[in-house]
Amino acid sequence: MNKYIEYSVEVKHALDNNLPIVALESTIISHGMPYPENVKTALECEKIVRDNGSVPATIAILNGKLKIGLSKEEIDFLGKKALKIVKTSRRDIAYNVANKIDGATTVSATSYIASLAGISVFATGGIGGVHRGAETTFDISADLEELAETKVLVVCAGAKSILDLGLTLEYLETKGVPVVGYGTNVLPAFYCNQSDFLVNFRIDTPKEIAEVFNTQLLLNLRGGMLVTNPISDLYSMDKEVIDEAISNAIIEMNKEGIKGKETTPYLLSKIAEITKGDSLAANIQLVYSNCRLASEISVHLNKLK
């Protein structure tokens, strides 16, 4: 296994000295935002993690290696290559490594690779979930199954609002994944901090979240935990505005015949276009907030371990 993994100096030092670490995904760099905002955002995410007491470990697949911790040059490479970098889910990992195909890791792939290194906390923007119309298409993100299998706490701003939030929650409940609302009883809806759905548990401090997750680990319960962190009121978008933008984007996507793993990048780009950049600004701010919270949780969890 070790021949496939390559750590940055910073992450290796953190692992050797039992320092708190936060995993970060790379799909947000190559598929989530345009250049150069993607690179600026990724570097700022790492800074926020450091400023709040943890070590950032941005994860990707480069030249046949599972890279845990990236250099600025590697992050810039992913940002510039953008959609030419293969969006990599768990199912793609072995193929991409064997064929030395550069890959930007999704939530599922990042969670799995983080777990190989013993990293227990991961910050992202929003998770994938059950897509609208999944009762006929069976389009369900691998992120959900990974949450059910891998012992990693994932901090996000809820499921992406392009999804069916109700069915996503039902799937997570069936798989036994606890969904925590950070300071809220309501499932955040990515761009918007409100929805019509309730989380399983409300927890108001990073320390308490760490204590519950540590207990989950000690009890050897299967799978991870989803911590949903609502976007602040300052950046939260009006629900009617974003819902209309999503509906229009889905109509355009269906006209274009876009399906599968290209769905999310297309919709995020189209929604940003429709909202004249407002959704992109919200996306960036919610990611920063998630990195801050994940770093704080990681610090407390590290003390408990």
The reply to whether 84 belongs to the active site is no
Write down the catalytic residue from 46, 74, 87, 160.
160
| 3-class state of residue 85 by DSSP | coil
The reply to whether 10 belongs to the active site is no
Domains of the chain: 2-304 (3.40.1790.10)
Q: Kindly report which listed range (194-198, 271-275, 296-300) carries the lowest average pLDDT score.
A: 271-275
pLDDT at 100 over 80: yes
Rounded to an integer, what distance in angstroms lies between the CA atom of residue 48 and that of residue 71? 16
Write down the catalytic residue from 25, 46, 74, 146.
25
The residues, ordered by sequence, that sit 6+ positions from 2 with a Cβ below 8 Å of its Cβ are: none
**For the segment 212-242, what is each residue's pLDDT rounded down to a tens digit?**
999 999 999 999 999 999 999 999 988 888 8
Binning pLDDT at 50, 70 and 90, where does residue 136 land?
confident
Q: What is the mean pLDDT of residues 131-146?
A: 86
Rounded to an integer, what distance in angstroms lies between the CA atom of residue 54 and that of residue 52? 6
Which pair of tokens denotes residue 189? Answer: 């809806």
pLDDT at 71 over 90: yes
The residues, ordered by sequence, that sit 6+ positions from 250 with a Cβ below 8 Å of its Cβ are: 132, 162, 267
Q: Which residue has the tokens 């209309």?
A: 244
Q: What is the mean pLDDT of residues 157-172?
A: 89
